Structure 1
Amino acid sequence: MSEYGEPAAGPPPGRAGTSRARRLRLAALLVLLVVVVVVVIRVVAAAGPPSREQLRERAGLTGKQTLLIGVKDDQPGVSQQLENGAFEGFDIEIAYMIADDLGFDAPRVEFLPIESEDRARRQARAPDGRFVTVDLVVASYSITELRRQQGVNFSAPYLETEQSVITRASDDRPVTGLRDLAGRKVCTIATSTSERNLTELGAQARGRNRISECVQELYDGTVDAVTTDAAILAGFVGPRPPGELPPMTKLKRVQELRHWDIGDDNSELWGVNTSPNPAMRDLVNLSLQESATGPDGERWRAAFDRYLRSEQPANNPQQVAVDRQPEPGPEDRVEVRQWPWERFALPYPHRPRPASPTGVARVRGRRSSGC
C-alpha cells in the first residue's frame, strides 16, 4: 500500500517474465552469432586463399634472417656495385621494395653479383668466391617463353623496355635498324637471343657475359656497336649523377657514345627469377601487384624517376623505358586472406594512394631479344 492508501504501482502481470525471456533470446542470439562467426572463419581459413603469413611460411621465410638476392654489378642506372661495396640502381630499389614486402628490411638484405649465364640457376658468387644459391634474382632478366620452358620461374614483369644499339659518337654511320649492322662487329650478351639474331642479319656477333666488357671493347675500337636492352645501354651514354661514389667496375679510354632507336616494336619485359617455390612466386607477384595496381605505386615511380627518367635527356630519341609499371596479367594475380579488422589494425599494405602517373606507355609486340 502507498501512504495514501493506494496499492503500490508495480509491473503489470507477466512483464517480468517477458523481460527475462527477451534477455534469454538476446543471449541465445549472441551465442548463435559467435558460433556462426567462428564457423565462417574456420571455413574461410580452410577453403579460402592463404594469408600473407601462411605464404611466408610456405616459402621458407619464417625465421629466416637474411634474404639473398642475385643482381648485376656493372650496369649503371640499373644495378651497379660501388667502390664501397654497396649497390645502387633501379633493379636494386625494386629488390628492396620486394624484400620489404616479404618482411626483410634493408639491413637483412644481401646482394650478390650474378653473371647472366647463372641467372637461371640462381647461382651467385659470395664475397669468399664460393657460388651460393640466392633466394631471388633481380638482374635485368627478360621474360621469354624459351626460358620458361627451360624451367625459369618468372614473376610478373616489373619493367618494359626495348632493344637498342649504341655506337661511338665519332662513328657517323647511321643505325636505323639491326640490318644496318650487317658486316660490322657487334657485341652483345652471350646468353641472349640477340646474338643469334645478329648472326642471321650478317653482323659479326661477339657474345660476352658482362655488358661492361662489350662497352669496353666499343671504347677500344674492337667492335663497332653494342646492342641489348635500352634501359641497360642508357646508363653508359649519359653522365653519372654528381656526388655519387665511383663504380667498382672501371672502364678505360671512355668516349662519348650515341644511342640509336632502331625502331624495334617489340617489348623487353623484365621479371624476377623467384625459385621453383610457388609461395615465393606468389609473394613476389603480390608485391608487384600492390605496386602496380594498388595504393603502393610511389615506390616504383620513385625508383624509375631517380635512375631511368633522369637518363632520358642524354639518350634521346631512344626511349630508355616505359614510364609506367606493367600491370600483372590474370595468371600473375594473387589473392590473400585479410580480415576486415586487419585493414584498420595494420597500416601495411594500405598506404596512401599516390598521384596518378604521368605519361603514356607505348604498346609493344612480343618478340624478345632476351637480355
Structure 2
Amino acid sequence: MPPRVRLVALVLALATAACAPVPRDPVPRPSAPQPQPPAVSAPTANQRNAACQGTTASLRPDGTELVRLPRGGVIDAIRQRGLRVGVSQTAAKLSSRNLRTGVVEGLEADLALEIARAIFPDRDPAEVPKLIEYVAMPTRDRFLALETDQNGRFPPATNVAKVHLIIADASVTCERVDTFGVRFSVPYLETKQALLTYRGTDGVWDPRTGVQGRTVCSGAGTVNLARITERGGIAVPVVDTTDCLVQLQRHQVDAVSTDDVILEGFHDQDPNTEIHPFPPDTTDFAAVAVSHRDDDLVRLVNAVLERMRGERMRALYAKWFGDRPMVMPPADYEGG
C-alpha cells in the first residue's frame, strides 16, 4: 500500500474510533430510600394501644350554628381574615391542584367550600371560594399546623404554617388527640388500608399473603406505617404519602400502603399499578381536624356535615368516586 494511502487509512481509522460510543457500565438499580428525618423533630405519639387521655368523640351541634353564627373567638377571626385549610393538594379525588386552572379540587376541597359558605352566609356565593386559603400540608407534619396547647409546648411546631382546619384524610385516633391537641369532627369518609404494587408481581410475590420482609412505603406519622411494621414489613417513611408513588415507579420499594381512596388516585396516575387489600382488613374514619381550643368551630363543622348527611354526601361521593358504594360513617358525639 502506498504511503499516502496508508496515511489516509490511519486517519480514517482514528476518526472512526473517536466517534464510536464509549462503553458504559450498566445503570444500577436505585437503592431503597432511607428513612427521612422530619422537617421538625415531631413529638412522639403515644403507643397505639394506649388509652385516650382526651376523647375521639366530637361535639354535638345545637342546631343554631347555621342560622346564628357564634360571636367572638375563632369564627369572627376567620370572617375578618379568611379561612385557612390544610389539605394535601396532591391527593387526586380528595384535594389536588388542577395544574391547568390552579384550583384545588376533590371531595375534601368541596367540603372546605361548604364549611366556608356556612361561615360567610352574607357573602356573594361566587366570592366565597376566594375567602379560602388552601395550605399544602405534608402528611408527616400536618397536625402541628393547629394552634393547640400541646403544639404550643413544642417550639419546633412554630416552623409549620398555621391553619384553622385540616381536611387531609386525617384518621381519627387517640394518639392525635393526646399528642397534638386535635379535636375531630364527626367522620365524613370511611377508608380501608390497602396496598399498591406494579402489575405482574404475582410471579415473585403475592401481596394478598402479607408484607413480611417486603419494603413498603407510607407517610411518616400515619397509622398505616405502624401496621406495616406490625405485619413484618420493612416500613419506608416519606414526608408526604404522595412521594410513595415515585418510590414505587423507581422500583425502590415493593409496594405503597395507605388508604384505598388515595391509592385509587395513584392508580389513575399510573394504570400499570394494581390495588390489593391490606391483610388483615382494617377500617379507619377520616374527619376534619380542629384545635381543641375552637369548640365553636368544631360544632359549626359538624352542623355542616350533618346537613350534608344523606343525599348531598352521596352525590359528593359519586362526583369523585363514581359508582363505588360509599356511606357517610355514623356520628360519635360526647354523651352519646
Task: Tell me the equivalent position of 2:112.
Answer: 95
Instruction: Give the structure-1-normalised TM-score.
Output: 0.62
Which of the pair is proportionally richer in strand? 2
Match of 1:141, SS state, is coil
CA distance in 2, matches of 1:325, 1:103: 25
Say whether 1:119 aligns with 2:142.
Answer: yes
CA distance in 1, matches of 2:218, 2:132: 30
Q: Which has the larger radius of gyration?
A: 1
Say whether 1:56 aligns with 2:70.
Answer: yes
Task: Tell me the equivalent position of 1:110.
Answer: 133
CA distance in 1, matches of 2:328, 2:272: 30
Task: Tell me the equivalent position of 1:168.
Answer: 198
Deviation, structure 1 residue 133:
1.3
The number of aligned residues is 250
Match of 1:93, SS state, is helix
Task: Tell me the equivalent position of 2:287.
Answer: 271
* Equivalent AA in structure 2 for residue 282 of structure 1: R
Say whether 1:325 aligns with 2:311.
Answer: no
CA distance in 1, matches of 2:93, 2:68: 35
Deviation, structure 1 residue 71:
0.5
Instruction: Give the structure-2-normalised TM-score.
Output: 0.68
Contact 2:141 2:160 in 1 (8 A): no
Say whether 1:137 aligns with 2:163.
Answer: no
Identity level (%): 27
CA distance in 2, matches of 1:287, 1:58: 20
Map 1:1-371 onto structure 2 (within 5 A).
51-52=64-65, 55-62=69-76, 63-83=79-99, 84-103=101-120, 105-122=128-145, 131-150=160-179, 151-172=181-202, 173-177=205-209, 180-238=210-268, 254=270, 256-262=272-278, 264-275=280-291, 276-292=293-309, 297-309=310-322, 312=324, 323-331=326-334
| Distance verdict in 2 for CA 1:139–1:299, change over 3 Å | same
Unaligned runs of 5+ in 1: 1-48, 125-129, 240-253, 313-321, 334-371
Deviation, structure 1 residue 147:
1.1
1:13-60 CA-partner distances (Å, limit 9, x unpaired)? xxxxxxxxxxxxxxxxxxxxxxxxxxxxxxxxxxxx684365532443
| Distance verdict in 2 for CA 1:54–1:255, change over 3 Å | closer
Deviation, structure 1 residue 291:
1.6
Deviation, structure 1 residue 235:
0.9
Higher relative contact order (CA 8 A, sep 6+): 2
CA RMSD of aligned residues (A): 2.5
Unaligned runs of 5+ in 2: 1-61, 122-127, 148-158
Contact 2:140 2:219 in 1 (8 A): no
Contact 1:187 1:205 in 2 (8 A): yes
| Distance verdict in 2 for CA 1:58–1:328, change over 3 Å | farther
Greater mean alpha carbon deviation, residues 106-115 or residues 261-270: 261-270
Question: Which of structure 1's runs of 4+ aligned residues deviate more than 4 A?
Answer: none
